[in-house]
Homo-oligomer: A and B are copies of this chain.
Amino acid sequence: MALAHLCLPGYTAPMKDGIETRLYVDAPLAAGGAVPLGLDQTHYLRNVLRLGPGEGVALFNGRDGEWRAQIAAVSKKAAELAVIEQLRPQRPEPDVWLAFAPIKRARIDFTAQKATELGASLLWPVMTRHTMVDRVNTDRLRANAVEAAEQSDRLTVPEVREPAKLETLIEAWPEDRALILADETGGPPIADALAMHRDRSLTRAGFLIGPEGGFAEAELDRLRKLPFVTPVSLGARLLRADTAALAVLAIWQALVGDWTTRHD
């Protein structure tokens, strides 16, 4: 785990069984196991959270559910956690992808954080004709996703893919996954499109959000001809790319995903 902790301001750590800290780790989690922490997570635990031996931490790795652990040892450069008992089993999560033309730094961080809170299972930067950003720091995207997963009580971290050209994304897109295109030139209302397709498997879906300058006409033509693409409209106001990304994920969760069942 060489993920830098970004120490995003403003998160309120969840209180769960008196444990206020959740950490995402790579190691397998099972009762009696020991989990070593690398330099960055040790620094976070020791110098940011000021936790020491005996204190509790919740761990998850995206595979084994959530576990209560205790700090067994901590030095300047390394720490070891003792895994005690399972708090929550791993459960299936919504399967919705977000492919998006990358935007500038603060707002791409923000998109990764919010998309993670909103339950995206995969984040995929896509380079389109009018995309103004030509480099994407995927390590940073992933660090944002990890921190948001830790803070939002998720049991997984979304997969972060390396940036792809639009044509590469189209070729790699699974045909049984609906690609829902936020089409700024118009289309059926998003709620109608999602309701219409609820019979088909919209539970495996992905959204594609263009750059601030919009898709090129040729790109829209190419996309609309694909059998797995559904264009949708998000109203007449101009939305920034990050707003559109969060809007579609929230609407999908409300109509198709795991916000459709009662949570008490």
B119 touches A264 (CB 8 A): no
Q: How many copies does the complex hold?
A: 2
A91 smallest CB distance to B (angstroms): 10
A114 touches B213 (CB 8 A): no
What 0/1 readout, one digit per residue, does chain A (112-138) give for beta carbons within 8 Å of chain B?
Answer: 001001110000000000000000000
**CB under 8 Å from chain B, chain A span 10-24:** 10-12, 14
Q: Which residue of B lies closest to A191 (CB)?
A: B254
Q: Chain B residues near A248 (CB, 8 Å)?
A: 250
What 0/1 readout, one digit per residue, does chain A (34-51) give for beta carbons within 8 Å of chain B?
Answer: 000000000000000000
The CA of A50 and the CA of B187, in the complex, are separated in Å by: 36
Surface stretch bound by B, among A71-79, A171-179, A255-263? A255-263
Q: Chain B residues near A234 (CB, 8 Å)?
A: 253, 259
A152 within 8 A of B: yes
B151 touches A186 (CB 8 A): no
B243 touches A118 (CB 8 A): yes
The CA of A234 and the CA of B246, in the complex, are separated in Å by: 14
Partner of A259, one of B104, B106, B152, B191: B191
**CB under 8 Å from chain B, chain A span 177-200:** 185-192
B237 touches A188 (CB 8 A): no
B187 touches A264 (CB 8 A): yes
A10 touches B235 (CB 8 A): no
A99 smallest CB distance to B (angstroms): 18
The CA of A250 and the CA of B236, in the complex, are separated in Å by: 13
A9 within 8 A of B: yes
Q: Chain B residues near A250 (CB, 8 Å)?
A: 246-248, 250-251
A151-B238, A250-B246, A250-B251 given as contacts; is B233 within 8 A of A263 (CB)? yes
A107 within 8 A of B: yes
B251 touches A254 (CB 8 A): yes
Q: Known pairs A114-B243, A152-B240. 15 more at Cβ < 8 A?
A: A10-B107, A110-B110, A114-B246, A117-B240, A118-B237, A152-B238, A187-B263, A189-B261, A189-B263, A233-B259, A233-B263, A236-B258, A246-B247, A246-B250, A247-B254
Chain A residues in contact with chain B, CB under 8 A? 9-12, 14, 103-104, 106-107, 110, 114, 117-119, 151-154, 185-192, 212-213, 233-240, 243, 246-248, 250-251, 253-255, 257-264
